[in-house]
A and B are shown apart, each in its own frame.
Chain A
Amino acid sequence: MHREVELTREEFLRYGRHLIMPEVGLKGQKKLKSASVLIVGAGGLGSSLAFYLTAAGVGRIGIVDFDVVDLSNLQRQIIHTTRDVGRSKLESAREKLSALNPSVEIETYETRLTSENAIEIIKDYDIVVDGTDNFPTRYLVNDACVLLKKPNVYGSIFRFEGQVSVFYAEKGPCYRCLYQEPPPPGLVPSCAEGGVLGVLPGIIGTIQALEVIKLILGIGEPLIGKLLLFDALKMRFRELKLRKNPSCPVCGENPTIKELIDYEEFCGITPERILHELGFEITAEELKSKLENGENIILIDVREPHEYEINRIHGSRLIPLSELPEKVNELDQTSEIVLYCKMGGRSARAVQFLRELGFTRVKNLAGGIDAWIEKVDPSMPKY
């Protein structure tokens, strides 16, 4: 891990505030310079993480992402600017990081992390930081890190709540010790559906950066075996104990997972996919022509009231997903019903729910109101 490195004159000055602290010092700064860290995801968590690790002088930083900067990212992904909209996130990130600290070696992997490439990409790094946004990738990162014996600095966020831990199977529990299985798709809303306070990934990402630096320097008490919970509204941090599960399928005494698996399959098929395959969905264009033909369709918006305030399809009735069970008897089982939400995930669950109750003519608007805006009414505000 620690190849012999020296600091340049410029670096002595740049890292002066580190060098005068006994906990870092010249020795520590050299450890940082010879360390390598892989950041998975150049989004909300990745932005603050990458900035601070680069500023701190981590010698080699790898970033994995395949996305393009979108205007709706900029509320929280501070590494990207308005000028970068439409550019590759990696290109945008590389530019900012190199400007901040040209001596840091930035490696970019413009790809989705998969079971096929994860080992190859991760094996050359000392530490992995998980800043992804979905369960399949989180389980993939976890398993790859356990198999390669690397620490995985984990952070995740939802609305105004965050979780941080260091999963390091060599010294403590892994992510699967905490959660053996992911929730079925659609049950837990994503940030795109549930929202996230823009500052939150900054706070959680910087805590991850701090944990990375502590691990490299070997100082303090890392969050191994501990889960830090942060509630931004209450401004409260809490710490829970994590234990290594002896029957953990990947780091336990008799592991059953000895190589990477198919994580999409492991995490389940989304309700949208199921409805799509059963033909229980309708496209935005189809809906438009049915409405124009005067067909009697009951349109139900299952989003939250504050989303309905931003935009809605004309003539729709708001019944938030959580209120559907109590309002279901107000609906006629035999009428043609189309349900929609922002992207089609929540409404897919609502369609499944109604179909189980015997509604036979209920369909999901594929892609939600986002698809409606794109295909039918671009003048509508989008969020």
Chain B
Amino acid sequence: MPVKIAIPTPLRPYTENRDIIEVDGQTVKELLENMSTRYPQLRRHLFSEDGRLRSFINIYVNDEDIRYLDGENTKVKESDFISIVPAIAGGN
């Protein structure tokens, strides 16, 4: 079941510049896993060495932060829209 994931600008160099990709998965964890398999360089940007999602990257299912749902075990369905929202600091 493919689910759409929005890739933020800073991570697009690692997804062949795609801004939206579709991956299969039942949970957020599966989606991220499958996405990192397809684009191996994404992995170290999304996860720290111990495999945890990096703390400057938040994942949203629709408009809700997965930290306030079921974390990476949050279930997803085809109509859901996933966003990866990293901290950016530019302003100058």
Contact = CB atoms under 8 A, between A and B. Distances in A.
B65 A163 contact: no
B88 interface: yes
A178 B54 CA distance: 12
Contacts of B63: 238-241
Contacts of A102: none
B42 to A, nearest CB: 10
Given A179-B55, A183-B54, A201 B91 contact: yes
Contacts of B67: 245
B83 A240 contact: yes
Nearest to B60: A240
Interface in A334-349: none
Most buried by A among B9, B55, B60, B91: B91
B92 A181 contact: no
Given A229-B85, A242-B65, A322-B13, A191 B90 contact: yes
Interface string B49-78: 000001110101001110110000000000
B65 A243 contact: yes
Contact of B92 (A43, A187, A188): A43
Contacts of A159: 9
B89 A190 contact: yes
Interface in A113-168: 130-135, 138, 155-161, 163
Interface string A203-235: 000000000000000000000000101000010
Interface residues of B, number: 27
A255 interface: no
Contact of A182 (B56, B58, B64): B56
A43 B91 contact: yes
B45 interface: yes
Given A135-B89, A156-B90, A157-B91, A194 B10 contact: yes
B47 interface: no
Contact of B89 (A44, A138, A245, A325): A138
A66 to B, nearest CB: 12
B65 A179 contact: no
A156 B91 contact: yes
A189 interface: yes
A156 B41 CA distance: 25
A241 B64 contact: yes
Interface in A91-114: none
Contacts of A132: 89, 91-92
Contacts of A241: 63-65, 68
Interface in A3-42: 41
B92 A44 contact: yes
B91 A155 contact: yes
A133 B91 contact: yes
Contacts of B89: 132-135, 138, 156, 182, 188, 190
A160 B68 CA distance: 28
B2 interface: no
Nearest to B64: A241
A158 B83 contact: no
Nearest to B86: A188
Given A179-B56, A183-B56, A243-B68, A135 B87 contact: yes
A320 interface: yes
B91 A41 contact: yes
B56 A194 contact: no
Given A43-B91, A240-B63, A180 B86 contact: no
A130 B10 CA distance: 21
Interface of A: 41, 43-46, 73, 77, 130-135, 138, 155-161, 163, 178-183, 187-192, 194, 196, 201, 227, 229, 234, 238-243, 245, 304, 320-322, 325
